[in-house]
């Protein structure tokens, strides 16, 4: 069987089984942590997308508690003004930062805005002038990053910097006090990520940047977003580090090996083996400065749904890869999906946390997947802390395709979402709805999770949006609990030989709510996919269709699970069961606080919710002016001052348009 963690320079051994980590009972509880390198003064701040470079999304603030959270009310609302209609829906996914007494955020168009955190009053704005007429596949920007130049004189320009990436793949460095570009960074304050790629983008919209860069030891480290289902040799997905002060390239690492001495080289075969594109890191990268490591979540190699030109496991793709931050060299890698054929990118940010195992603290990486798995990996070695085994999965029946015969599964931590859908389990709110779902599903190949795409059509459970999704998780070290939002929606995927494609069918069905067709250039196929819903628009799986799942990391057991979202947002005509018990599809992440509260938006219904970390009981629901698929954040300007909870509103698509930043505080 496969190695789970591969160290840089170690001998590749894809045919042998690595001993699984032995599970021991966790015997102690963790108290609130102070992160290495984090001062007491920063406890009330939100310094990075995931609260800190480690990405736990846990705040030590305690003013808002399980007992008083129901007293939250709107403190202020700010509108960005970015409501321009674009060819693709704009998605306001930014999680603001709060540092040095200022709130910083970015709009979908990468406009950066600095606000007074207590009033929402605008201090300054910066516009990178992205072309809003372009057909970018993902009009989104998840936020900014910050760095303090300790060598610069106090009060000097650009001592504190704000970095923002743009959808057209540029990174700007801005002075945090004024929003003026730092002239010494790159070319007058900006660098272009399209320069120097091994596989150049075939067209402008093929290569984007939607997540903020990681900041570590005087560098910014960034991935990219690649339109990876269009051709076999899509734009390459290099991860690169740049000097935080000058913008000079420090190193570059390509997830598709280009060097025959690389440990993963032999896991790539076929005619496109080492010229394949993508396998890019479009999610947020986590950083551990004490270990000089960055943790990179990678996606599928191109294209997503057919791998006949990229045979083998395709190591480093669909993986969590630990890179030496100072050099870009691989320290270890753990592949979560072998030879991806399902668009099962590692889409959520890694969370670097400490749990207790066998009476001692263990530094680990928590990684959720679209497959519905939560992997817990040793931070220094990548070896699973909770046992993982290779299990047989269905083979492909497509000529030229060689699906992996096994995939990794947890043996202790239960799946976060269902791994199959039998005909007996097909659901509909009425008999007619259920029969419509059965009519769609009966003809499909349906052999459980990891059933490969087929000519007749395949039932995909979990779907390409999860399972767990890009929203990621939060970890509460006080209770040793990870909380993860998940989807439970089935999908249909089919490979159509190009000579059998009916253009009339494509033009009739290619729509946002109908079938999606993609010509995978360099392969003999067109990909067709859609979510499986009934005439009432309800998913064909049993509810809840969205859920919040808590895993106890002392035991690996499910601590609690509750529906997430109101089904009336997707199927307003549903009758019978309370719509709040049906849940709804969700995109966006949670946060936790030392007050014992989990906050999450994410759902199509326009609310911010608070849950009890111990029980999962919904404690409070705050009305929003639109849907919110951004991850919230929280801060306190001074000890004893108000604790605020802030979320960006306006998710695009079914979440609705919006340009609101909403802050809540106790009345």
- Please give the biggest Cα pair distance in the chain: 72
Say if residue 46 is preceded by a cis peptide, omega within 30 of 0.
no
Distance CA 463, CA 339 (A): 17
> Helix (H, G, I), strand (E, B), or coil: what is residue 436?
helix
| Ramachandran area for residue 375 (φ above 0: left; ψ -120 to 50: alpha; else beta) | beta
Distance CA 521, CA 361 (A): 49
What is the end-to-end Cα distance of the chain in Å, rounded?
58
DSSP bridge partners of 552 = 481
Angle at alpha carbon of residue 299, lines to 98 and 532, rounded to 5°? 100
Distance CA 649, CA 39 (A): 31
What H or E segment, with its residue span, contains residue 115?
A: strand 112-115
Phi, psi dihedral angles at 436 (to 5 degrees): -65, -40
| Ramachandran area for residue 553 (φ above 0: left; ψ -120 to 50: alpha; else beta) | alpha
Q: Contact 324/333 with Cβ under 8 angstroms?
A: no
HSE-up (13 A, CA, CB side) for residue 398:
28
Structure tokens at 467: 């399972």
**Which member of 138, 262, 340, 343 is catalytic?**
343
Distance CA 449, CA 467 (A): 11
Known catalytic membership, residue 380: no
Distance CA 496, CA 276 (A): 22
- Supply the residues annotated as catalytic: 343
């Amino acid at each position: 069987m496969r190695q789970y963690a591969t160290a840089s320079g170690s001998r590749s051994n894809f045919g042998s089984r690595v001993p699984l980590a032995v599970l021991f009972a966790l015997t102690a509880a963790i108290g609130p942590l102070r992160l290495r390198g984090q001062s007491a003064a920063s406890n009330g701040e939100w310094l990075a997308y995931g609260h800190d470079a480690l990405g736990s999304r846990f705040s030590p603030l305690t003013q808002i508690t399980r007992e008083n959270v129901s007293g939250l009310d709107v403190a202020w609302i700010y509108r960005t003004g970015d409501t321009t209609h674009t060819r693709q829906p704009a998605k306001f996914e930014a999680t603001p930062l709060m540092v040095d007494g200022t709130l910083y955020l970015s709009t979908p168009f990468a406009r950066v805005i600095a606000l007074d955190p207590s009033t929402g009053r605008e201090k300054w704005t910066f516009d990178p002038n992205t072309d809003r007429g372009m057909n970018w596949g993902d009009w989104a920007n998840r936020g900014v990053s910050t760095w303090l130049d300790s060598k610069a004189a106090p009060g000097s320009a650009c001592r504190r910097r704000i970095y923002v990436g743009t959808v057209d793949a540029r990174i700007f460095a801005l002075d945090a006090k004024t929003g003026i570009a730092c002239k010494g960074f790159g070319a007058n304050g900006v660098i272009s990520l399209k320069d120097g790629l091994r596989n150049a983008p075939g067209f402008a919209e093929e290569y984007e940047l939607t997540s903020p860069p990681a900041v570590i030891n005087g560098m910014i480290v960034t991935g990219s977003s690649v339109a990876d289902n269009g051709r076999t040799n899509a734009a390459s997905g290099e991860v690169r580090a740049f000097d935080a002060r000058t913008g000079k390239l420090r190193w570059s690492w390509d997830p598709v090996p280009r060097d025959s001495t690389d440990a993963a080289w032999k896991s790539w075969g076929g005619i496109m083996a080492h010229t394949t594109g993508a396998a890019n890191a479009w999610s947020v990268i986590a950083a551990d400065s004490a270990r000089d490591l960055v943790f990179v979540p990678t996606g599928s190699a191109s294209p997503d749904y057919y791998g006949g030109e990229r045979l083998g496991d395709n190591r480093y793709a669909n993986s969590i890869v630990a890179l030496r931050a100072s050099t870009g060299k691989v320290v270890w890698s753990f592949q979560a999906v072998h030879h991806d054929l399902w668009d099962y990118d590692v889409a959520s940010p890694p969370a670097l946390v400490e749990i207790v195992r066998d009476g001692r603290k263990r530094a680990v990486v928590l990684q959720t997947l679209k497959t519905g798995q939560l992997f817990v990996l040793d931070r220094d070695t990548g070896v699973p802390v909770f046992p993982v085994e290779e299990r047989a999965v269905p083979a492909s029946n497509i000529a030229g395709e060689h699906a992996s015969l096994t995939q990794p599964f947890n043996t202790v931590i239960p799946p976060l979402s269902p791994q199959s859908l039998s005909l007996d389990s097909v659901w509909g709110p009425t008999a007619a709805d259920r029969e419509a779902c059965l009519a769609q599903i009966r003809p499909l190949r349906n052999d459980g999770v990891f059933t490969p795409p087929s000519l007749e059509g395949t039932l995909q459970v979990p779907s390409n949006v999860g399972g767990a999704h890009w929203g990621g998780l939060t970890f509460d070290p006080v209770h040793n609990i990870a909380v993860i939002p998940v989807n439970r929606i089935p999908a249909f995927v089919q490979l159509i030989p190009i000579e059998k494609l009916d253009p009339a069918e494509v033009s009739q069905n290619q729509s946002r709510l109908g079938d999606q067709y993609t010509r995978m250039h360099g392969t003999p196929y067109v990909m067709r996919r859609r979510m499986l819903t009934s005439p009432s628009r309800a998913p064909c799986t049993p509810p809840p269709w969205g859920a919040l799942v808590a895993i106890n990391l002392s035991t690996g057991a499910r601590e609690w699970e509750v529906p997430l979202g109101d089904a009336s947002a997707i199927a307003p005509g549903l009758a019978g069961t309370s719509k709040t018990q049906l849940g709804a599809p969700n995109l966006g992440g949670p946060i936790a606080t030392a007050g014992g509260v989990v906050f999450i938006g994410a759902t199509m219904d326009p609310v911010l919710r608070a849950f009890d970390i111990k029980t999962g009981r919904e404690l409070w629901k705050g009305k929003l002016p639109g849907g919110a698929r951004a991850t919230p954040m929280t801060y306190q300007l001074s000890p004893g001052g108000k604790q605020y909870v802030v979320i960006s509103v306006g998710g695009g698509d079914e979440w609705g348009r919006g340009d609101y930043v909403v802050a809540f505080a106790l009345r």
